[in-house]
Chain A
Amino acid sequence: MSPDFTKNHFELFALPVSFDIDTQALERAYRDLLREVHPDRFAAASDAEKRLAAQWSTRANEGYQTLKSPLKRGRYFLRINGIDTEEESNTAMPMDFLQQQMEWREAVVEARSGHDGARLDSLAAQRGDEENLMFEQLRQQLSASATLGAARLTVRKLRFLEKLGEEIGDAIEALAA
């Protein structure tokens, strides 16, 4: 009936269901859809239309925000393929990965208390490079059904990296203030 919740986010924007997307096509589709359904268009319309507009816009925003972020998109892609990344429930991570994370975190704390902006910038660049490598790995893993299971761990690692990125950002900001 109202927004077709049987369609997944890719289908909503008429995009092929794959991790790799044409981001410009996504932007265009999102804007085109919103132009039709945004509440501003229905400010003088009936209650039923206003409700529909709110539902559709919410759906469009949810879909867009998920597909726009590579990490969210990866997680979502796994989900529609029936795979749960278990980020909340499963905290097991490979030892070497955890160790590296801890080292990085310590380096951030040190750089922050030592007011070492240059070190923080260099950590940010390193983290960024690591993240790029990992996204490339995710891309490959998501392109074949045999490797979808392995992609779960990659998504979990990427989440750690995302959080690390926030910490570095906070530290850089604390020094700038």
Chain B
Amino acid sequence: MALLQIAEPGEATAPHQHRLAVGIDLGTTNSLVATVKSGAAEVLVNHDGDPLLPSVVRYGKDGRVVVGHAARAAQAEDPENTIVSVKRFMGRGIADVAKYGTLPYRFVDAPGMVKIETAAGVKSPVDVSAEILKVLRKLAEESLGGELVGAVITVPAYFDDSQRQATRDAARLAGINVLRLLNEPTAAAVAYGLDNASEGTFAVFDLGGGTFDISILRLTKGIFEVLSTNGDSSLGGDDFDQAIGAHWRNAYGIAAADHRDTRRLLMKAREVKERLTTQEIVEAVLPLSYGQEFRLKLSRQEFHTMTAPLVQRTLQPVRKALRDANLSVTDIDGVVMVGGATRMPHVQKAIAEFFGKSPLNNLDPDKVVALGAAIQANVLAGNRAADDLLLLDVLPLSLGLETMGGLTEKVIPRNSTIPIARAQEFTTFKDGQTAMAIHVVQGERELVKDCRSLARFELRGIPPMVAGAARIQVLFQVDADGLLSVSAREALSGVETRVEVKPSYGLSDAEIAEMLKASFSHADEDVQARALFEQRVEAARMIEALQAALNKDGDTLLADDERVGIETAMMALMQVAAGEDHRAIKECIAALSSATEDFAERRMDRSIADALRGRKLEDVKIS
């Protein structure tokens, strides 16, 4: 692919090439990739014209990996090595997966996330998800004819920090630069909001294969503000399949002899569930491994009755979300349904009844999330100004700390708009204490054991003092992706204490580095080429943005010598970027960033003052 063209300083900014960026819906059942082409978002299709990639990965003894339809077709023959719905295991431990019912996998209780033993070795859910992402990345790059600058990857709004980190790690393994982790309901709202050009308060009801989200959003003048979000990250269409399977086992006395039978039973349940959307009664034949055949029957009525509790389970988070947003059902202007599972008639009926209105579903519930993500990716990659599209999302679950007696103290409450930061002060307990352990948890419950353990942070390097004298300020920051980072300093001495993170369910940086190494077959070359490409893109992006800034504000905000200094640094970067040394480019980028910090601050201060100056005049007029 041709390098992005870089303008000479002083010239009018060269028209930039369209940066290739995509939105990826990494779903429980199916995954999709979409992009914005000629101003419109569209889902990319594979060679067979298929927009959906089944989120199924099969591992072979020879190390072969098969992803998609072919893998799904093999799930009944080879259930132990064909991983279906891996999203349900991301960031989860062995106790979590036990709740999903009978599954054919050989789980390994690993200290981080649960792992799965396959014919190709022990695999983490991060590995499995990365295989799916690799296929999507390849499809996108072939379709669009170039390397991707980045992708927006969607996650359920109710995913906690561990689940989000795991998703980001999977993208890293797949060689994808994550522009943003975007919440699925918000993505859907973007696709609908821009499509219908509406303003108002909307509820997005997203029931996927394995996760359920409800988000309440307010749309005003291109700003999508999430008011509240709630959900259940272990409730989805798969559970409806399990319910049918359990019913049949009981009603027909089916004893699954082995994993293949378990898988066959679930597949049949899914097939029948889908057919019941359009048929009142469905009959099916289930052949089992020992030549036994069961003639099964299920009526829509029976299905609705047996899964009514599951549907009820979705309404509880909806009520909570409305409460948190301080709204009642009548305040909702429209309901959007997302996810294949919302095709079930009794789900649609329950939602329509609850909200007192018919849901909007003119967009394909399978594609809407990917489309929204593509639109956001287009903005974040720099192809389109963010002026008419701003997404204000929230932290879905409270972040807290473990305090005395196994209790939690909330530090950042749920539904706080992100990015957000909170400082908490601690002191030492013993004379001369130089380290401290902080346990961060996520969840709404009072007891630590009922919340999700995120990580233990060890602060080291506290200057020795009398007990109770140290003032250790711990800063919790949640970024726009909903990810937490922690930093700390001792206030009296100003010493930055080192913070070592031991994620409870994630992968350490060292593990990721190992996995990355292992995944490259032409190890060195690929890594080098990738790194060079990324640094060049970064350099070009920076130079272009800086050139535009100089053109706009250089005369008014910079002294002559300051401007010359910046332009010299820019030229230096251009030269280095034309070379082959990616590390040198990275250093030069850092140097240019430093050199332009003051300029950036002055520009930000000015734009804020301009934006708010309008406010002051208005207030004066009114009073």
| A residues whose Cβ falls under 8 Å from a Cβ of B | 1-2, 13-16, 22, 25, 28-29, 31-41, 43-49, 52-54, 56-58, 61-62, 64-65, 169, 173, 176-177
The smallest beta-carbon distance between A80 and chain B, in angstroms, is 18
Stretch of B261-269, B385-393, B455-463, B519-527 that contacts chain A = B385-393
Known contacts A38-B390, A39-B479, A48-B593; A32/B615 CB under 8 A = yes
* Chain B residues, Cβ within 8 Å of A49: 600, 604
* Chain A residues, Cβ within 8 Å of B614: 32
* Chain B residues, Cβ within 8 Å of A65: 416-417
User: Is A2 a contact partner of B419 (Cβ separation < 8 A)?
Assistant: no
| B residues whose Cβ falls under 8 Å from a Cβ of A | 19, 179-180, 220-221, 223, 312, 315-316, 319-320, 323, 376, 379-382, 386-387, 389-392, 416-421, 477, 479-480, 541-542, 545-546, 590, 592-594, 596-597, 600-601, 604, 607-608, 611-612, 614-616, 618-619, 622
User: Is B180 a contact partner of A43 (Cβ separation < 8 A)?
Assistant: yes
User: Is B596 a contact partner of A39 (Cβ separation < 8 A)?
Assistant: no
A13 to B220 CA separation, bound complex (whole angstroms): 19
User: Is B479 a contact partner of A36 (Cβ separation < 8 A)?
Assistant: no
Write 10 A-B pairs (CB below 8 A) sorted by A numbering.
Answer: A1-B601, A13-B615, A37-B604, A40-B180, A43-B180, A43-B386, A48-B597, A54-B477, A65-B416, A177-B312
User: Is B608 a contact partner of A34 (Cβ separation < 8 A)?
Assistant: no
* Chain B residues, Cβ within 8 Å of A13: 612, 615
Of B392, B421, B545, which one neighbours A46 at CB under 8 angstroms? B545
* Chain B residues, Cβ within 8 Å of A177: 312, 316
A22 to B389 CA separation, bound complex (whole angstroms): 26
User: Is A176 a contact partner of B319 (Cβ separation < 8 A)?
Assistant: yes
Known contacts A32-B611, A44-B382, A52-B600; A169/B220 CB under 8 A = no
Q: Is the interface of A mostly helix, strand, loop or mixed?
A: helix
* Chain A residues, Cβ within 8 Å of B618: 25
User: Is A173 a contact partner of B386 (Cβ separation < 8 A)?
Assistant: no
For B221, B223, B417, B418, which residue has the most chain A Cβ atoms within 10 angstroms?
A: B417
User: Is B615 a contact partner of A25 (Cβ separation < 8 A)?
Assistant: yes
* Chain B residues, Cβ within 8 Å of A2: 601
* Chain B residues, Cβ within 8 Å of A57: 419, 480
User: Is B541 a contact partner of A44 (Cβ separation < 8 A)?
Assistant: yes
User: Is A58 a contact partner of B477 (Cβ separation < 8 A)?
Assistant: yes
Given contact pairs A44-B541, A169-B323, a sample of 8 additional A-B residue pairs in the complex whose CB atoms are under 8 Å apart: A33-B611, A38-B390, A45-B542, A46-B600, A52-B604, A54-B479, A65-B416, A177-B312
A62 to B390 CA separation, bound complex (whole angstroms): 18
A11 to B125 CA separation, bound complex (whole angstroms): 48
For A31, A39, A44, which residue has the most chain B Cβ atoms within 10 angstroms?
A: A44
The smallest beta-carbon distance between B161 and chain A, in angstroms, is 17
A77 to B619 CA separation, bound complex (whole angstroms): 20
The smallest beta-carbon distance between A131 and chain B, in angstroms, is 13
Q: Is the interface of B mostly helix, strand, loop or mixed?
A: helix
User: Is B615 a contact partner of A61 (Cβ separation < 8 A)?
Assistant: no
User: Is B619 a contact partner of A46 (Cβ separation < 8 A)?
Assistant: no
In the complex formed, the residue of A with least CB distance to B225 is A31
Of B380, B389, B604, B607, which one neighbours A43 at CB under 8 angstroms? B380
User: Is A40 a contact partner of B615 (Cβ separation < 8 A)?
Assistant: no
For B316, B590, B600, B618, which residue has the most chain A Cβ atoms within 10 angstroms?
A: B600
In the complex formed, the residue of A with least CB distance to B316 is A177
The smallest beta-carbon distance between A14 and chain B, in angstroms, is 4
* Chain B residues, Cβ within 8 Å of A176: 315-316, 319
Of B417, B480, B607, which one neighbours A36 at CB under 8 angstroms? B607
Of A14, A36, A37, A43, which one neighbours B615 at CB under 8 angstroms? A14
User: Is A43 a contact partner of B312 (Cβ separation < 8 A)?
Assistant: no
The smallest beta-carbon distance between A126 and chain B, in angstroms, is 18
User: Is B390 a contact partner of A39 (Cβ separation < 8 A)?
Assistant: no
User: Is A48 a contact partner of B608 (Cβ separation < 8 A)?
Assistant: no
The smallest beta-carbon distance between A48 and chain B, in angstroms, is 4
* Chain B residues, Cβ within 8 Å of A58: 419-421, 477
In the complex formed, the residue of B with least CB distance to A27 is B220
User: Is B608 a contact partner of A46 (Cβ separation < 8 A)?
Assistant: no
User: Is A40 a contact partner of B386 (Cβ separation < 8 A)?
Assistant: yes
* Chain B residues, Cβ within 8 Å of A14: 612, 615-616, 619
A109 to B390 CA separation, bound complex (whole angstroms): 44
User: Is A46 a contact partner of B592 (Cβ separation < 8 A)?
Assistant: yes
User: Is B545 a contact partner of A36 (Cβ separation < 8 A)?
Assistant: no
User: Is B417 a contact partner of A64 (Cβ separation < 8 A)?
Assistant: yes
Known contacts A40-B391, A46-B546, A177-B312; A29/B421 CB under 8 A = no
Known contacts A43-B380, A58-B420, A177-B316; A34/B612 CB under 8 A = no
The smallest beta-carbon distance between B409 and chain A, in angstroms, is 11
* Chain A residues, Cβ within 8 Å of B419: 39, 54, 57-58, 61
User: Is B418 a contact partner of A61 (Cβ separation < 8 A)?
Assistant: yes
A39 to B380 CA separation, bound complex (whole angstroms): 9
A25 to B620 CA separation, bound complex (whole angstroms): 12
A2 to B602 CA separation, bound complex (whole angstroms): 9
The 5 closest A-B pairs by CB, nearest first: A44-B382, A43-B380, A14-B615, A48-B597, A41-B386
User: Is A40 a contact partner of B380 (Cβ separation < 8 A)?
Assistant: yes
